[in-house]
Amino acid sequence: MESAESFREIVTANERVVVDYFADWCGPCKQQTPILEELAGTVDAPVLGVDTDEHAGLAAEASVRSIPTVAIYRDGEEVERFVGVTGADEIRAALA
């Protein structure tokens, strides 16, 4: 994720988007990463990573209070949120 501007462009330009709010120092986030990498190759939706240390403003706008947080956006609006390590099947079901 390069900037808040590119984040907003991707979220509004796509019907569905998966957003992973994470930090490099977060142990559970490191468990979530391979799940999302596998998911990215199997769903028709962009999977974005937002480093909450680098993009604290985006995390604050989204009211992220714990990481990892995976948010599902549909037509530019958040429609579902998972806090903690979440399986690919749960995320895939939320995209359906």
The catalytic residue positions are 26, 29
Prior bond of 68 cis (ω within 30°) = yes
Tokens of 77: 């609006």
Backbone angles phi, psi at 35, to 5 degrees: -65, -45
SS3 state at 80 = strand
Residue for token digits 């240390």? 53
Short-list 61, 41, 3, 48, CA closest to 22 = 48
